[in-house]
A and B are shown apart, each in its own frame.
Chain A
Amino acid sequence: MMARIFLFLGLSFAMLFAAGAIEGEVEKQSLNMSAIVMFLLFVGGTLGITYWAAKRTKTAKDFYTAGGGITGFQNGMAIAGDYMSAASFLGISGLVYLKGYDGLIYSIGFLVGWPIILFLIAEQLRNLGKYTFADVASYRLRQTPIRTLAASGSIATVILYLIAQMVGSGKLIQLLFGLNYEIAVILVGVLMILYVTFGGMLATTWVQIIKAFLLLSGATFMAIAVMAHYDFSFGALFATATEMKGIEIMSPGGLVSDPISAISLAVALMFGTAGLPHILMRFFTVGDAKEARKSVFYATGFIGYFYILTFIIGFGAIVMVFKNPEYLDLAKQAIDGGSPILGGNNMAAIHLSHAVGGDFFLGFISAVAFATILAVVSGLTLAGASAVSHDLYASVIMKGKADGMKEMRVSKIATVVLGIVAIAMGIMFEKQNIAFVVGLAFAIAASANFPILFLSMYWKKLTTRGAVIGGSLGLATAVLLVILGPIVWVQILGNEEAIFPYKYPALFSVTVSFVGIWFFSITDKSDDAKKEMEAYEAQFVRSQTGIGAEGAVDH
């Protein structure tokens, strides 16, 4: 039955592409057969993995954590896969292309959260949790309110992130393959539903690993090709780049202008990373704390290496794509002047792949970009579905009495629903300005998810009341300040001046959250609060030693 579904879908996709390809040819872009062939190979291969994974995914534990048998190296690669989204590949290289040094500032912010995750939460998370980070947050607190809040934070983060990925993917695919936007979004949604519902965490993990490998190889090749042009001299590369774009690309520009914004962005990126549900969930796929630590070590290495590559790629695009008549958007130039490139600045890396490797390599990088989107949305959806099934259904509604099979079924239904929501949102937001959504996702993760998780591990006096009130205040503050800030209030709603002057609310919303949790915990004199504090000791022993932790590999 399943094999037949896969066969049918495979054929339909092949037909879709054939149609799209013809359309593309008729329009203007040269038909890129290699992109389509490589993309079909990736989809075919990953559906094969999904089929294999489906046969091994029998229990809820398999579904949520791939049975807990992923190694540290594999998980490190998969975490890197989760984190190196198409937004960071195309977006950061595009930012470097546009502003030079500012792109590097951004990527450093995205990286430095990782060591902190390792030092302070990775192993404790592994020792205390089972499937979701809410397991840890609610370990000694009241299940219903804490799980509800944690699940809301997770689902909000996941949906916002999904919107950004879906809209980005629709536009990217439209540009690369000449497919219609709606079809592209539906295609991504359907593939993701297949990976997650049938293959669960095992398929999702392997899709991430393959994609991370392809992305790192492709980016390495591009960076080497660029450097080879300049005899591997950075000085020569930068010299040519400044001749084309001016000396200011070598220094910090206007990305972070005032100290408050700078610190607020830093807080959002650091604590936000440590509060992303799809990232936190990855720590439950390894057997023990040792493997959890290794995961972060490898992930930090891969991600850091990747950011160095994107920096070189951005500069490569300045010297090889900028002002190159082949990539010039003539229509746009006629209106706005300057030297705009086809598809906008975020296409810099894609055009560079063509400049260094011709049609074949362009095809490869396009297929990798698409694979990246698929992998990231799968990880996100799995995390969102787990919040629904494990936190809301099994713990809040069934009070922990749901059986594994039923819970897994709810999870699959939630996956399908989230997939449909993602498709609908992707189509709805096509023409909207979505610049704020990833920032908002990070702000929510940093202000609602992270403080509760962190304090539940380290602060004995945390009580349910404190966590719920403080976490909700943090969440509300983050959302409110984003709405009142310059992006939504001025750029989207068209008001004259922002009520809240900063683009990044995290500094304020995280502070509100921590202070709120602290205040409403220490003033909580209830009997429950006393019990919760007493339970800290046993939790602390387990978090430090792993005694009693959800078993390592059990088969």
Chain B
Amino acid sequence: MEQSVVDKVKNDPNFKTLVSERSKFAWKLTIAMLVVYFSFILTIAFNPSALGAPLGDDTVTTVGIPVGIVIIIFAFILTGIYVRRANTEFDDLTAKIKENAKGE
């Protein structure tokens, strides 16, 4: 890539918006996933009986079962949230940046 293109893109306000918005968003979601997963893993390490408690008096199903399934679904929903915003808002910004970089 030529330096002129790099400079042009770098100074494009759209690029600054894209980079800061996307990285904020991506890190927020990453942290959400890490917090959920490590809370789960650390509960297993320090207090496994919390997940082993039955859901009710007349059932053997434990708290851990819905918690585990919800983490799986949560991971999938997070990817959906990211893709939705990235494929619309971020891609529109990227298209604008590319347009500006091309035209004089």
Contacts and interface: CB of A to CB of B under 8 A. Distances in A.
A64 interface: no
Nearest to A117: B79
A252 B87 CA distance: 39
Interface in B18-76: 18-19, 22, 26-27, 29-30, 33-34, 37-38, 40-42, 44-46, 48-49, 51-52, 54, 59-62, 64-65, 68-69, 71-73, 75-76
Interface string A520-553: 0000000000000000011001101111100000
Given A120-B30, A247-B60, A252-B44, A297 B79 contact: yes
Interface in A112-141: 112, 114-116, 118-120, 123
A252 B64 contact: yes
B3 A538 contact: yes
Given A545-B98, A546-B94, A293 B61 contact: no
Interface stretch (A103-111, A213-221, A364-372): A103-111
Nearest to B3: A538
Most buried by A among B5, B37, B52, B80: B37
Nearest to B25: A119
Interface in A244-290: 247, 250-252, 256-259, 261-263, 265-266, 270, 289-290
Interface stretch (A231-239, A401-409, A474-482): A231-239
Contacts of A109: 37, 41
Contacts of A107: 72
A119 B26 contact: yes
Contacts of B75: 111-112, 114-115, 300, 304
A192 to B, nearest CB: 30
B62 A108 contact: no
A308 B91 CA distance: 33
Nearest to B9: A541
Contacts of A114: 75, 79
Contacts of A290: 86-87, 91
A114 B33 CA distance: 10
Contacts of B60: 235, 238-239, 242, 247, 250
B83 A108 contact: no
A266 B38 contact: yes
A101 interface: yes
B20 to A, nearest CB: 11
Interface string A474-494: 000000000000000000000
A108 B65 CA distance: 12
B61 A235 contact: yes
Given A235-B61, A250-B52, A263-B41, A112 B46 contact: no
Most buried by A among B10, B69, B101: B69
Contacts of A294: 83, 87
A296 interface: yes
A48 interface: no
B15 A545 contact: yes
Contacts of B73: 304
A235 B26 contact: no
Contact of B68 (A104, A120, A235, A544): A104
Contacts of B94: 289, 544-546
Contact of A259 (B18, B45, B49): B45
A538 B65 contact: no
Nearest to B44: A252
B69 A308 contact: yes
B59 A538 contact: no
A145 interface: no
A266 B71 CA distance: 14
A89 interface: no
B65 A118 contact: no
Contacts of A501: none
A547 B64 contact: no
A251 B48 contact: yes
A158 to B, nearest CB: 26
A342 B29 CA distance: 45
A327 interface: no
B9 to A, nearest CB: 5
B10 A537 contact: yes
A542 B6 CA distance: 9
Nearest to A265: B41
A504 B65 CA distance: 25
Contacts of A239: 59-60
Query: Considering the complex of A and B, which 10 residue pairs feature the smallest CB-CB distances, nearest first?
Result: A251-B52, A259-B45, A262-B45, A119-B26, A252-B48, A304-B72, A250-B62, A104-B68, A548-B1, A297-B83
Interface of B: 1, 3, 5-6, 9-10, 15, 18-19, 22, 26-27, 29-30, 33-34, 37-38, 40-42, 44-46, 48-49, 51-52, 54, 59-62, 64-65, 68-69, 71-73, 75-76, 78-80, 82-83, 86-87, 91, 94, 97-98, 101
22 contacts: A101-B64, A108-B37, A116-B30, A116-B33, A119-B29, A119-B30, A238-B61, A239-B59, A250-B54, A252-B44, A256-B44, A261-B45, A262-B44, A289-B94, A293-B87, A297-B79, A304-B72, A544-B19, A544-B94, A547-B5, A547-B101, A548-B1
